[in-house]
Amino acid sequence: MPGFAPGYPVNDKFEATTDLWRISQHCFADEIRAEMTLPDKVQLCDITLREGRQLPGVSLTRDQVLRIADKLAETGVSMVQMHHDDPQEMAEVKKRHPHMLIDALVHPTAVLNPELAKPEVDLNYDYGADYASLCFSFSEHQMCLFESMAGARITIEEAIERAMGSVAYARAKAGPDRKVGCLIQDCTRIPIDQLAEVCGNLVEAGADMIRLDDINGMAIYRVYTYVVREMKRHLPGTEIALHTHNDVGMAAAALYAGLEGGADIIDACVNGLGERAHIACFAEVASVIQLYYGIDCGIKLEKLTELSQLVAETMPWPMPDTMPFVGRTAFSHLVEVHYCVPPTEEGFWSYLCMKPEIFGNTQHNLLGHYSGPWAVRAKANELGLSITDGNEPAVISKLREKIQAVRRQITDDEFREIVAAAD
């Protein structure tokens, strides 16, 4: 099939209909695409080993970190964000995967004090980081942070001056082969001219990458297109990254909007893990960018389900069955009308737009309160069971009684018992 290699599909031919997906043709309409400023290629930065660990009860051993890193590399991830809490983790990941870029976060309590920032910058680069990302806040809504971050009440102008000092030091330490990143918190509540000026100063001081961080879902999705596009205009040649949170349910939409503004780097986390309401889910973002936008992220989509399952087991943090693309029931039906379609290729596409095997997932026949004869027959066929027409009402009745009693998806063995009891 054009534009497809097994395990690594990229819809670079902008095909709405293939044997693996059938999506809306409007995704590729000229009048839609004309509104976008899409980059030729996108760098996905997985932040599971940093943001994904900011959850109650999550504490990973170094071996667990390396196991996740190995699976990320196997999936095609070429950039990860880490923290220097255990710098040896970075060193080990870099040793095992030398081509994987490591973006190391420098704690915001240090960056506005260049003397405190220096040892953290040194630590990150000395232990294998390709980027040292210094966290800053220049929003008037976060002025209260300056006192704790800088040790004194300072103005935004003073904060910028101190930030430039920290960036200049990082630039000197990085040398020609490594990069300096700057993460700008609360980016959508800073006036655009002020944001451009601040970021311009940081680039002048030596920053190679500006990460726009909307820490709390502050804006509608179109704002991210605007902010990213403006930063690309004001800072030509500078990498623009985008980091969003799902506090208002728009983390992924915000990332796609930023992509349409030309973002070079997109942050996402396996299973969408992160602070508060989490962030955008890596499997969703990677799949949509490669199949709906047709942009190469280098991700082997067929590995995504394995990756999500590994992280869910390792953290441990629940992975919803309904998670798009990789959840257990992501491609499975329950309501009766979904089973009324013929068991043909065309019937399959009536209520689905992707084949589950793209993502290493499978389809299941589910049963619930609204299941009727069509669903029951499908489940019976799946399990190699025979139900006579005369027994179908009894099976359906007993099925509903069982579901009402247990209030969960019944197991295959329970369904077998129901069928046997109806004979």
Supply the CATH number for residue 141's domain.
3.20.20.70
In this structure, what are the phi and psi dihedrals at residue 321, rounded to the nearest 5 degrees?
A: -60, -25
Report, as ranges of residue numbers, the positions in the chain whose pLDDT lies below 50: 1-4
212 and 308 assigned to the same domain:
yes
Q: For residue 321, which of 304, 311, 308 has the smallest C-alpha distance?
A: 308
Q: For residue 13, which of 1, 22, 24 has the smallest C-alpha distance?
A: 1
Instruction: Tell me which H or E stretch contains 254.
Output: helix 251-260
Residue 328 lies in a domain: no
- The predicted pLDDT at position 125 comes to 97
Instruction: Tell me which H or E stretch contains 132.
Output: strand 131-137
304 and 357 assigned to the same domain:
no
Ramachandran category for residue 116: left, alpha or beta (phi over 0 → left; psi -120 to 50 → alpha)? alpha
271 and 415 assigned to the same domain:
no
- The token duo for 353 is 């737009």
Q: How many CB atoms lie within 10 A of CB 177?
A: 6
296 and 345 assigned to the same domain:
no
- The predicted pLDDT at position 5 comes to 52
**252, 279, 314 - which closes a domain:** 314
- Domain enclosing residue 383, as ranges: 336-422
302 and 360 assigned to the same domain:
no
CA-to-CA distance for 5 and 13, rounded, in angstroms?
13
- The predicted pLDDT at position 115 comes to 81
Residue 18 lies in a domain: no
Residue 131 lies in a domain: yes
Helix, strand, coil share of the chain (percent; to 5): 50, 15, 40
- The predicted pLDDT at position 340 comes to 86
Residue 35 lies in a domain: yes
Q: For residue 335, which of 375, 301, 393 has the smallest C-alpha distance?
A: 375
Tally of CA atoms within 13 A in the half-sphere of 131 that contains its CB? 27
**267, 283, 314 - which closes a domain:** 314
CA-to-CA distance for 334 and 316, rounded, in angstroms?
28
- The token duo for 128 is 């294998």
Instruction: Tell me which H or E stretch contains 133.
Output: strand 131-137
- The token duo for 231 is 């930063």
- Number of domains the chain is built from: 2
DSSP state of 180: E
Residue 233 lies in a domain: yes
239 and 183 assigned to the same domain:
yes
Look over the chain and give the mean of its residue pLDDT values, rounded to a whole number: 92
CA-to-CA distance for 51 and 279, rounded, in angstroms?
9
- The predicted pLDDT at position 109 comes to 59
310 and 348 assigned to the same domain:
no
Residue 163 lies in a domain: yes
CB of 270 closer than 8 Å to CB of 286: no
- The predicted pLDDT at position 260 comes to 98
**Tokens 């980016």 belong to residue:** 187
146 and 233 assigned to the same domain:
yes
Residue 322 lies in a domain: no
171 and 57 assigned to the same domain:
yes
- The token duo for 123 is 């630590």
- The predicted pLDDT at position 146 comes to 64
**314, 346, 362 - which closes a domain:** 314
DSSP state of 285: H
134 and 264 assigned to the same domain:
yes
Alpha-carbon Rg for the chain in angstroms: 25
65 and 100 assigned to the same domain:
yes
306 and 390 assigned to the same domain:
no
281: Cβ contacts below 8 Å, ≥ 6 apart: 252, 268, 269, 270, 271, 272, 323, 324
Residue 16 lies in a domain: no
pLDDT tens track for 27-74? 999 999 999 999 989 999 999 999 999 999 999 999 999 999 999 999
CB of 292 closer than 8 Å to CB of 15: no
Strand, helix or coil for residue 364: coil
